[in-house]
A and B are shown apart, each in its own frame.
Chain A
Amino acid sequence: MNFLALIGRVILDGLETAGRMGMFAGNGVRHAVLPPFYFRLIGRQMLAIGYFSLPVVGLTALFTGMVLALQIYIGSARFNAESAVATIVVIGITRELGPVLGGLMVAGRVSAAIAAEIGTMRVTEQIDALVTLSTNPFKYLVAPRLWAATITLPLLVLVADTIGVMGGYLIGTQKLGFNAGSYLKNTLDFLETADVVSGLVKAAVFGFIIALMGCYHGFHSKGGAQGVGRATTDAVVSASILILIANYIVTELFFAK
C-alpha cells in the first residue's frame, strides 16, 4: 500500500466533507434569513432544545463551579485564597467552562436528537414527501432548528453561568468558610462585561454548530435504522470537535491582543 496515496486520500475526503458541510451551512443560513419564517416551529424547537436541556446544563454548571472552587482553594492556599477563588471561578465559568461544557452537554443531547429525527425522515422518504408538497426541507426543517439552537444556547449558558457561580459560592461559604459578602464582592469586582459577552457569543456559535451537525448528518443518512444510528453518532462527534475548535477561534478573536 502506498502510504502517500493513503494520506492524500484521507485529506481529499476530509476536504470534500468540509466543502459539503460548508455548502449545506450556506444553504441553511440563506433559508434561515429569507422569509417566510416558521415561528411556530422555531418556538417548538426552542422548547425542545432549551427547556428540556435545563436540568443537564444546570447540573453540569453546579458541579463545575463547586469543583473549581475546591481546586483553586487547594492550589492557591499559599496566596490570598479568599479573593482568588471567587475571581477565578467567575472568570473561568463565564469565559470557558459555562459555554464549553454546556455546549458539549447540549451537543450530546440535541445533535443526536436532531440527527435521529431528520435521519428517520430521510430514510422513510418523509423528506421526499415534503418536497412533493411544495415545501423546501431547508426552510421547514433546517432553518427553524438553526434559529432555535442559536438563540437558545446563550440563554442556557446565562443560566449555567449563574448556577456555576452559585456552586462556587456554596463551596466557598459553606466548606471553606469564606465571608459571604466579600465572596460576592470579589465575584463582581473583577468580572468584566467582555467575560460574559464572549461566553454568550461562543454559546451562540456552539448552538449553530449543534443544530447544523444534527441536520447535516440526518439529511445524509441512508440505509435504515443502522444508517440513522451512524448519523446520530457522527452528529455528536463532529459537533463536539467543531465546538472545541470554534472555542479556540472565538477566544483568539476576542482576547488576542
Chain B
Amino acid sequence: MTAPPKISIRGLRKSFGSKLVLDGIDLDVERGESLVIIGGSGSGKSVTLKCVLGLIRPDAGSIRIDGTEVVGMRGDARDEMLRKFGMLFQGAALFDSLKVWENVAFGLIEGRHMPRAKAREVALQKLAQVGLGVEVGELSPAELSGGMQKRVALARAIAAEPEIIFFDEPTTGLDPIMADVINDLIVQCVKRLGATALSITHDMASARKIADRIAMLYKGRLIWVGPVKDIDHSQNAHVDQFINGRAEGPIQMEVLRP
C-alpha cells in the first residue's frame, strides 16, 4: 500500500457572505514535495492555506493530512495535528509584546517545552540563517523594517523543523539578493529536512527556484497544475499571461482604464 499524500484537498469551497472565493479546489501534495500556488491578488491563495490550518472553516470539502480528515477537528487532536505545521504569515504576524528571539523561540518554548536558554540558541541560529545578527534578537518587532519582520517570521516558521511548512509570500518586500537567499533556505528546508512545503508567491523567479510543481488559482478553481518545467509551455492562455505579467490577455483586471 502506498502512503497517502501529505496533504490532500478535495472539493474545498468557501464564500464570505455572497462572495465566492474557493469554488471546489482539489489538490494533492506529496511527502517531501514543494508546491507553489500562484494566482492573482485576492484569488483566495491565503484563504486556502488558512482552511488547511483550520483558521478558517470551509463551507464544504475535505482536507486530509497524512490521510486523517482535519476539517472540523478540535481539541487535543487538532493541537497534535498543528504540531506538524509551520506557517509564515503574509503580514508576518509577529508577537509585538515579545522580543525578536522570543518570537522565533516561541514554538520551541511553548509548544515543545524546550528550556529557554537552549531555545534561545536555536533561535539565534535560525536568525543567522535569514541574515539577522544577535543584536537583532534583542529588539522588539516594531523596531524592524518590513523585510526584516518577514525574515523573522520565516525563522519562526522553520524554528521547530516542522514536517509541513506554509510560506505565504516569503520573498515579498525583500531585495532581490536577499530574496534569493530565502529561496535557497526554503529549498534547503525541503531537501535537507525532508519537509513538505506549500508556498504562495507572485515572484516567478522564486516560484521557479523553490517549486517542484506549480498550481494556478483563478476564479476559485485550480486551472492548471503541473511540474515547474512545464510552466513555460502550459498551453494555457491564463497561465501564460500570468507568468509573463501581461496586462493583455484572457485575465481582465477590473480597473478603470484611462
- Which A positions have Cβ atoms within 8 angstroms of B? 117, 120-121, 124-126, 128-136, 140
Contact = CB atoms under 8 A, between A and B. Distances in A.
Contacts of A133: 106-107, 110-111, 156, 160
A131 B93 CA distance: 12
Nearest to B50: A128
B106 A125 contact: no
A140 B93 CA distance: 16
A130 B107 CA distance: 9
Nearest to A139: B110
Nearest to A132: B87
B86 interface: yes
Interface of B: 50, 53-55, 79, 82-83, 85-87, 89, 91, 93-97, 106-107, 110-112, 156, 160
A128 B89 contact: yes
A120 B91 CA distance: 13
Given A131-B54, A133-B106, 16 more contacts: A121-B95, A124-B93, A126-B94, A126-B96, A128-B50, A128-B55, A129-B93, A129-B95, A129-B156, A130-B95, A131-B53, A132-B86, A133-B110, A134-B110, A135-B106, A135-B111
A125 B149 CA distance: 14
Contact of B93 (A126, A134, A135, A136): A126
Nearest to B87: A132
A-side binding surface: helix, strand, loop or mixed? helix
15 contacts: A120-B96, A125-B89, A126-B93, A126-B95, A128-B50, A128-B53, A128-B93, A129-B95, A131-B54, A132-B53, A132-B86, A133-B106, A133-B111, A134-B79, A136-B79
A129 B53 contact: no
A125 B111 CA distance: 18
Nearest to B97: A117
A169 to B, nearest CB: 42
Contacts of A140: 110
A214 B185 CA distance: 41
B110 A129 contact: no
Please provide the 8 A-B residue pairs with the shortest distance between their CB atoms, ordered closest to farther: A134-B111, A133-B107, A125-B93, A129-B93, A132-B87, A135-B110, A128-B55, A134-B83
Contacts of B112: 134
A128 B82 CA distance: 12
A120 B111 CA distance: 23
Nearest to A140: B110
A136 to B, nearest CB: 7
B24 to A, nearest CB: 24
A134 B97 CA distance: 18
A132 B82 contact: yes
Point out which of A125, A131, A134 has the most chain B C-beta atoms below 10 A from its C-beta. A134
Contacts of B79: 134, 136
Nearest to A134: B111
A140 B106 CA distance: 12
Contacts of B86: 132
